[in-house]
Amino acid sequence: LHEILRLRRDSWNRLGPAERSRCLEEAQAYLAAAAKPATGDTAVFSLLGHKGDLLVLHFRPDLASVHEVELGVRALALYEHLERTASYVSVVELGLYEMTGKIWEKLAAEGIEPDSDAWRARLAKEMEHHRDRMRSRLYGEIPPTRYLCFYPMNKRRGEEKNWYAEPYARRQEMMRAHGFVGRKYGGQVTQVITGSIGFDDWEWGVYLFADDPLVYKKLVYEMRFDEASAWYGEFGPFWVGLRLSTDDLGEVLSGRLPPHRP
Amino acid sequence: LHEILRLRRDSWNRLGPAERSRCLEEAQAYLAAAAKPATGDTAVFSLLGHKGDLLVLHFRPDLASVHEVELGVRALALYEHLERTASYVSVVELGLYEMTGKIWEKLAAEGIEPDSDAWRARLAKEMEHHRDRMRSRLYGEIPPTRYLCFYPMNKRRGEEKNWYAEPYARRQEMMRAHGFVGRKYGGQVTQVITGSIGFDDWEWGVYLFADDPLVYKKLVYEMRFDEASAWYGEFGPFWVGLRLSTDDLGEVLSGRLPPHRP
Amino acid sequence: LHEILRLRRDSWNRLGPAERSRCLEEAQAYLAAAAKPATGDTAVFSLLGHKGDLLVLHFRPDLASVHEVELGVRALALYEHLERTASYVSVVELGLYEMTGKIWEKLAAEGIEPDSDAWRARLAKEMEHHRDRMRSRLYGEIPPTRYLCFYPMNKRRGEEKNWYAEPYARRQEMMRAHGFVGRKYGGQVTQVITGSIGFDDWEWGVYLFADDPLVYKKLVYEMRFDEASAWYGEFGPFWVGLRLSTDDLGEVLSGRLPPHRP
Amino acid sequence: LHEILRLRRDSWNRLGPAERSRCLEEAQAYLAAAAKPATGDTAVFSLLGHKGDLLVLHFRPDLASVHEVELGVRALALYEHLERTASYVSVVELGLYEMTGKIWEKLAAEGIEPDSDAWRARLAKEMEHHRDRMRSRLYGEIPPTRYLCFYPMNKRRGEEKNWYAEPYARRQEMMRAHGFVGRKYGGQVTQVITGSIGFDDWEWGVYLFADDPLVYKKLVYEMRFDEASAWYGEFGPFWVGLRLSTDDLGEVLSGRLPPHRP
Amino acid sequence: LHEILRLRRDSWNRLGPAERSRCLEEAQAYLAAAAKPATGDTAVFSLLGHKGDLLVLHFRPDLASVHEVELGVRALALYEHLERTASYVSVVELGLYEMTGKIWEKLAAEGIEPDSDAWRARLAKEMEHHRDRMRSRLYGEIPPTRYLCFYPMNKRRGEEKNWYAEPYARRQEMMRAHGFVGRKYGGQVTQVITGSIGFDDWEWGVYLFADDPLVYKKLVYEMRFDEASAWYGEFGPFWVGLRLSTDDLGEVLSGRLPPHRP
């Protein structure tokens, strides 16, 4: 879950310096503690543009834990001077099509005959292995890059072009081609794909972590020509922000951009 | 009917502790009483994300009763510190296609010849039986699960794919296939389908009650591939929340998530 | 014209009891007087859901009169504590297609040969008669039922299905079939169809007056399968409310639903 | 350019009578002076419905002049109690298709052979003449009728029906048929068509001035069946208002509709 | 990046003249300094219509620098009296199709045989040269014209007409034709095309700088008939404003339009 918050300058400015410090200290202590639970992570980003000032991102193993940390944020004294402009509720996804695609490639590279018994056994083992790797990602750390890009998306359900009416094999093939583009940027950007069907208004939420933000433009532009995106991708609004150390929250609200502390 | 309410932190924080307690006590007493009428039920949920803090859900046998309990909520002292961000007015539906489908299956399993006199008699009897069962659900209790998911939906009225231009038999067939998916999750989620044609902006409102919220994602995702959903389903925003005991209202507004008390 | 108004609880609650009474008395006196002009009527409804608390409906013979009564409402002391969330400007319509359809049926029932001279003479006479009847409806009373349902609608102007590109005879035929459905509910619901092309954002506004609100759902659902609605109807938001005696305005704002006084 | 303004009743009512008078006097003096520049005109309308209370319309020969008068309005003391809900920036258009159509008809009526040298010479002369006539309209007075109707519109750029992909001759033919309808209402309504491509969110803005507002409904309804409108017209919101003498501004804000003073 | 800001007249008017002067002086000093960094530029525009009062535009070589200057604006005392209504995050684009098109024309004019070795060598050299020229534009000055027009746009991703499913050669051909129109206005308007895929909600943002604003209408209208725009262009809202000297900020907020100081 993440929330987008906008500072209400008028009520914030009305506070005296001591009150402001108290607000910031409470918030920084809370967010620092929230960033180090047994499982999960919490991070704050300073946003470009008018959609908000701060994005607070929580990774947690279940909805109750994420709601708990969110309720704590809402009860901060600072929160009275913030307004929520957006949020997103979703769970990290295993990337079924992509994972399957990767394994198939690997098995093919190893010369294992598709659909043979050996192939099936290896497929099951590899999928288990990937699930373990993903699980650690699910409850692990938020990647420590300087920039975050977030956008939600749907698969089109049009009257003619309808993802959900395409056969599984076609969808898999398109997602594999889509995945190839993503992998080209593997070293420069960490993608966290989350699913929000049943939880939020779009079907997926995409978090892109990178140190050079120009890679967002290149990656998203190149993907737009994939068959999966060109005909079936529908994209929501985009948010871009810079990671903050919780210690730097006060600096940012005072109008100064602190250096990145990875 | 339900209403989504957001707490206005600034005016709430301006109250002294005694005033806050008085507001909460009045609200808790009102909601506890509203939860135990002769017919119907009332429950409160704490929402994830920015769309609101609380969802107040009322089941009542008619619109006048539901309006009466809603007017009472609006007159609470607490209500001055809340703003309504959304609501939904609808009536619980018998699920015509689904019910008919179920009965047809049952009669077929019993070997009764379709369209025979015996078949017709049994059909009428079964439908009466189901109506009675549904009626108890209509005015009964709100299921006591920890999580609630709500979303409104329409059947598409496109220029090419148009639910309302499909013949009855086609619609019934699609709804039966749709119902099969729903029934697979029968033990894990309680679906309450409500109709809002003529009452609210979407045609149906779907309430999903469950203890494990991941089932929302699985159920809604699987259904999305049904012909009825893929080509004809149009989905509104999704809200997800955790059930609160009315005693716990103050806890939640103070930023703490109380344990579930079923 | 009608306006949807939401009570601003914070400013309203800040008033003392005497000020509140003064506001209510002024408003009740104004609305009671507005309900009894030489021509026209004014009524207040208490709305379900978050879209507003009150709907104030004015029937007047021309736009200047309706604007006059609206300006008077805006100048009430109570109005400072209300915010306008929506409104609708439209004029009652004769229902050309429906009326023509009705007359054709009648003449056919009387055995008059279509397109004969006698048929033409009777057609002209019947249309004059209906216009007179409608005229009384135009400036007459607001039906005294307990419930009101309002929704605006358009005729689709799609790239394929386009009402305004259909020949007159096809449109008339579809409207006749549409009218048959409406007439089935004649005893249970009073429909007032208003035209708002050139006046407001949708093409028509539909007011449904009934004592049993479930008829809204049945009527609108059944109509949705008409060819005219299935392919060509586009529906805006729906509002549902309960009629208030102007004397009961204070009761409702205090959270109590008064009994219906027809 | 016009702006739609809504009175903030709470802050306005908080002023004492003397302050209110001072605000009104300043505004009335400013608007009266703005209505009589060397070139252009300014007028105020009282709006029906919830979209705003006042529409302030400025005709000026260039964007800098219109911005100058707009900045002056924003600096009025009254403006603190108003909120802008909408505006429109556009320039009066010569109506190329319509003008050309008119001239072709005229030359045909005179028996001049199309595309002959005489025809070309006359065409050029007539177009010059019309441009002069239009120019006076551009910087002239706002028509002094009691009612104003405004709506913005686009020409559809659909995937199938696309105005901008139609050949010039087809577009001209459709605009001529469209113009015939407009001319039928010539005596009852003055149309000012403005272009806003590159200036505002829609492509055109249409101002209809009339003494009888029912003509708006008749004109817009009849036009909706034109090929140009049925397939290619996309319409924005509609605003309808009554012309105010600047002296009557205080009357209207006090809830009284003054008589029309043409 | 630019931000659209609206002045909150009520809080601004509540300040005394000395406080207002202090706010303005701080803002003017900040903006004047921001306009003269080693690389980049900052400018302020006064907007027509209700969408905002000021547009603050920053050209910077990277997102961190642009965020830094934006944070500084948010911390100004004046900012408490402004509300952000919109913003746009994008990076200046090389105009790949257009640049390639230009070079091809040039080489053809020089009689160099397409796809020959000489042609390839010249192509590479020319592209390098253009990239250098563009780079200077990227970090250079904001053109000093009196007017600015901004609008965002997408390339359509429809179910039938889909830019991203067109082959490269077709897209290039359409962009070349599109570029021809743009070049016709080369002397009258400076176009800065920025890309925002991955950064903001639309794919491109277009800044048009000109001294005569009528050229916006002519240019955008003429382009609308290009195949690239007619079938594939989707346009967002348009903003038009007049350039302000930072010294003139106070004049404009007081309701006076200062003369242009290029």
pLDDT digits (tens, 9 = 90+) for B57-113: 999 989 999 999 999 999 999 999 999 999 998 888 766 565 666 777 788 888 888
* CB pair distance less than 8 Å for C216 and B198: yes
Contact C208, C253 (CB under 8 A): no
Smallest CA–CA separation between A143 and chain B, in Å? Answer: 22
Asked if B87 has any chain C CB less than 8 Å from its own CB, the reply is yes
Chain B contacts of C238, Cβ < 8 Å? 196, 198-201
Cα E101 to Cα E149: distance, rounded to the nearest angstrom: 25
Cβ(E83)–Cβ(E36) below 8 Å: no
The answer to whether B60 touches B42, Cβ cutoff 8 Å, is no
Of chain E, the percentage scoring pLDDT greater than 90 comes to 63
| pLDDT of the residue at D6 | 93
Residue of E nearest to A160 (CA): E159
B219 touches chain A (CB under 8 A): yes
- The tens-digit pLDDT sequence of chain C (262 residues) is 998 999 999 999 999 999 999 999 999 999 999 988 777 899 999 999 999 999 999 999 899 999 999 999 999 999 999 999 999 988 887 665 656 667 777 888 888 887 788 887 887 787 777 766 665 555 578 999 999 999 999 999 999 999 999 999 999 899 888 888 888 888 899 999 999 999 999 999 999 999 999 999 999 999 999 999 999 999 999 999 999 998 999 999 999 999 887 7
CB contact under 8 A, D49 and C88: yes
User: From residue A40, how far is each of A205, A208, A209 by CA, in Å?
Assistant: 18, 18, 17
Please indicate if any CB of chain A lies within 8 Å of the CB of E89. yes
Q: What is the pLDDT of residues D39-73, one digit of tens each?
A: 789 999 999 999 999 999 999 989 999 999 999 99
Interatomic CA distance for residues C118 and C112, integer angstroms: 7
Q: What pLDDT, on a 0 to 100 scale, did the predictor assign at position E30?
A: 94
E149, β-bridge pairs? E208, E240
Q: What is the mean pLDDT of chain D?
A: 88
On whether any CB of chain A is under 8 Å from the CB of E248, the answer is no
The predicted pLDDT at position D146 comes to 95
Q: How many Å apart are CA E47 and CA E35, to the nearest integer?
A: 19
Q: Do C46 and B67 touch (CB under 8 A)?
A: yes
Strand, coil or helix: A134: helix
Among candidates B9, B51, B220 on the partner chain, residue whose Cβ is nearest the Cβ of A197: B220
Res A99: pLDDT: 67
For the segment D173-206, what is each residue's pLDDT rounded down to a tens digit? Answer: 998 888 888 888 888 999 999 999 999 999 999 9
pLDDT digits (tens, 9 = 90+) for A75-106: 999 999 999 999 998 888 766 565 666 777 78
The alpha-helical segments, DSSP class H, found in chain D are: 9-14, 17-34, 63-74, 96-109, 117-138, 168-184, 214-223, 227-232, 249-253
Chain A residues 126-165 with a CB less than 8 Å from chain B: 157, 159-160, 162, 164-165
pLDDT confidence of residue B81: 94
Residue D135: the pLDDT is 59
Nearest by CB to residue E224, choosing from D86, D197, D201, is D197
Residues of B belonging to the active site:
151
Q: Looking at the complex, report in whole angstroms how far the Cα of residue C29 sits from the nearest Cα belonging to chain D.
A: 15
The pLDDT, as a whole number, for residue B98 is 59
Number of C-beta neighbours around residue D106 at 10 A: 13
Two structure tokens written together for C66: 């309706």
DSSP letter assigned to residue D246:
G
Structure confidence at residue E203 as a pLDDT band (50, 70, 90): very high
Which whole number is the average pLDDT over E241-257? 92
More confident of the two residues D93 and E102: D93
Instruction: Report whether pLDDT(B141) > 90.
Output: no
**D8 interfacial to chain C (CB closer than 8 Å):** no
DSSP string, chain C: -EEEEEE-HHHHHHS-HHHHHHHHHHHHHHHHHHTS-SS-EEEEEEEPSTT-SEEEEEE-SSHHHHHHHHHHHHTSGGGGGEEEEEEE--EE---HHHHHHHHHHHHHHTTPPTTSHHHHHHHHHHHHHHHHHHHHHHTSPPP--SEEEEEEEEE-B-SS-BGGGS-HHHHHHHHHHHHHHHHHTTTTEEEEEEE-TTTSSSSEEEEEEESSTHHHHHHHHHHTTSHHHHHHEEE---EEEEEE-GGGHHHHHTT--PPP--
| ipTM rounded to 2 decimals | 0.85
Residues of C assigned a catalytic role: 151
Cβ-Cβ pairs closer than 8 A, A with B, add up to 109
At B156-192, the pLDDT tens digits run: 999 999 999 999 999 989 988 888 888 888 889 999 9
Answer whether B149's CB lies under 8 Å from B238's CB.
yes
**CB C189, CB C211: distance < 8 Å:** no
CA angle C30, C35, C39 (to 5 degrees): 125
Mean residue pLDDT of chain B comes to 88
Question: What radius of gyration, in Å, describes the C-alpha atoms of chain A?
Answer: 21
C-alpha distance from E156 to closest chain D C-alpha (Å): 9
CA distance B79 to chain A (A): 18
User: In this predicted structure, what is the pLDDT of residue B250?
Assistant: 92
CA–CA separation, A194 vs A171, rounded Å? 18
Asked if the model's pLDDT at residue A138 lies above 60, the reply is: no
Chain B: closest CA distance from residue C148 (Å): 10
pLDDT at A137: 57
Locate the chain B residue with the closest alpha carbon to A197: B217
C3, C76, C162: residue with CB nearest D50? C3
pLDDT digits (tens, 9 = 90+) for A10-49: 999 999 999 999 999 999 999 999 988 777 899 999 999 9
Q: What is the pLDDT of residue C117?
A: 82
pLDDT band at B12 (very low <50, low <70, confident <90, very high): very high
- For tokens 């802050």, the residue is D11
Contact between residue D195 and residue D91 where contact means Cβ atoms under 8 Å apart: yes
Separate counts of helices (H) and strands (E) for chain C: 9, 10
- Please tell me the distance in Å from C213's CA to the nearest CA on chain D: 27
Q: Which residues in chain B are closer than 8 Å to C254, comparing Cβ atoms?
A: 75
Q: Cβ–Cβ of C197/D161 closer than 8 Å?
A: no
Give chain A's mean pLDDT.
88
Q: What is the pLDDT of residue D122?
A: 83
D85 has a pLDDT exceeding 80: yes
At C56 the three-state DSSP class reads strand
- pLDDT of E241 above 60: yes
Of B63, B71, B164, nearest to C255 by CB-CB distance is B71
Residue D63's pLDDT is 92
Does D216 lie at the interface with C, CB-CB under 8 angstroms? yes
As given in the structure block, the two tokens for residue A31 are 């967010």
Give the pair of three-digit tokens for residue A218: 């290149």
pLDDT (0 to 100) of residue C176: 86
- The pLDDT score that the predictor gives to residue D96 is 56
pLDDT band for position B116 (cuts 50, 70, 90): confident
Q: Could you say which of D67, D91, D201 has the minimum Cβ distance to residue E46?
A: D67
Residues of D with catalytic function: 151
Name the token pair of D166: 């139609």
Instruction: Decide if pLDDT at A51 tops 60.
Output: yes
Is the CB of C64 inside 8 Å of chain D's CB atoms? yes
**What is the model's pLDDT at position B187?**
85
pLDDT at site E187 = 85
Q: What residue in A sits closest to E197 (Cα-Cα)?
A: A217
Q: Identify all chain C residues contacting B84, using CB atoms and an 8 Å cutoff.
A: 50
State both tokens at E112.
């160099």
Contact D221 C195 (CB under 8 A): yes
pLDDT at D182: 82
